Structure 1
């Protein structure tokens, strides 16, 4: 009998993962909506497999993630996200053998293989994740400088505006703003909005008194 904690706030992904896990009637499935509830679940189920979308959760940075994983050393972690930066992948993979990696837009076989591996306390790193890490090692470049448009979008995101609100203000499509957002995260080497807020404060794009980091 395996225990799983699904820590993914994207409803359609959560439903799909639960459907896969329920194919085995013996699996026990739990949900966590934030870091606090995840820690509470891990206290009850220390041997659980955590299925986490880091980019949609409230971890401030990878340090917090690694601290929690070290605290619950008997747990296994399957990170499943749309995008993860090379720096993040290298830090997490090299720091702990508890972590496996797949991408949401990858083949279903990756997800199935990863779930099978982590349930047997084995690590699974998708081919794409390995390629991202190797590519970064072979091409260490300085981060690109943000364009004026990207800087304005960073400011708007840091102020808590949604993609739809930013698109309306800029008379752009939601797709265009989403593309800008992905490019910004890639250039800055970040994965979450929390990290973006930190950058915006350091860069002087927003007033630090407006935030508690």
Structure 2
């Protein structure tokens, strides 16, 4: 069982999460903090712990969260707030599965599900945030014509899902040489040098569903 730190300056919210977490009976200990220092102190003693924090109240930037993840790679973070900026969500969702998202108006059942998933090292994204990401990707896709052909988009999707060139050739009934040519064209059109960079484009463009990618 993992240890949990709750960092939220709103007493009602902090007490509510504390109560729900205790009733779930899935954490070894539950403590509360008030700032960045509280988080660092907690992680020094519980490097694989879970931190649920309203990042807007303690002024946690994306860069600071990434630094914390680098220092404590086994720790998990639940970003918990009244509202979340879509670009902020997407960057952290795609950066690491250690970042999960729950809104303060989420149902008790959804909060419980999030706490349970994260305690098991699973990423959790509440329904409203999932819809927020999907809508943003849809709007961007409609606003910007794709740089890639339909065939290239499908090959990029398969690449992002971890399929090898040989696998893709088999799936598409094509030769390995043909797939390699498409791969080179995809990299050239997107101005990227590797599959990791191409995958990030695929997610931003809505070619790959984040949930599909992390399964």
Matched, 1:10 2:16: no
Distance 2:53 2:131 in 1: 21
- C-alpha contact 1:62 1:88 (8 A) present in aligned 2: yes
For residues 4-153 of structure 1, the aligned pairs below 5 Å read 4-23=4-23, 24=25, 27-59=28-60, 61-140=61-140
Distance 2:92 2:70 in 1: 12
Q: Structure 1: state its 5+ residue gaps.
A: 142-213
Distance 1:10 1:92 in 2: 24
Distance 2:28 2:38 in 1: 20
- C-alpha contact 2:26 2:119 (8 A) present in aligned 1: no
Residue 125 of structure 1, CA deviation: 1.0
- C-alpha contact 1:21 1:27 (8 A) present in aligned 2: no
Report the counterpart of residue 145 of structure 1 in structure 2: none
State TM-score, norm by structure 2: 0.61
Residue 26 of structure 1, CA deviation: 5.9
Distance 1:121 1:111 in 2: 15
Distance 1:66 1:16 in 2: 27
Distance 1:25 1:105 in 2: 22
Instruction: List per-residue Cα deviations over 1:18-66 (Å, max 9, x = no partner).
Output: 111222286301222111221111001111111111111122x211111
Report the counterpart of residue 163 of structure 2 in structure 1: none
* Bigger Rg over Cα: 2
Distance 1:63 1:117 in 2: 25
Q: Any idea what SS the aligned residue of 1:47 has?
A: coil
Distance 2:85 2:21 in 1: 28
- C-alpha contact 2:55 2:81 (8 A) present in aligned 1: yes
Q: Any idea what SS the aligned residue of 2:56 has?
A: helix
Instruction: List per-residue Cα deviations over 1:77-102 (Å, max 9, x = no partner).
Output: 11111100110110110111101111
Q: Any idea what SS the aligned residue of 2:78 has?
A: strand
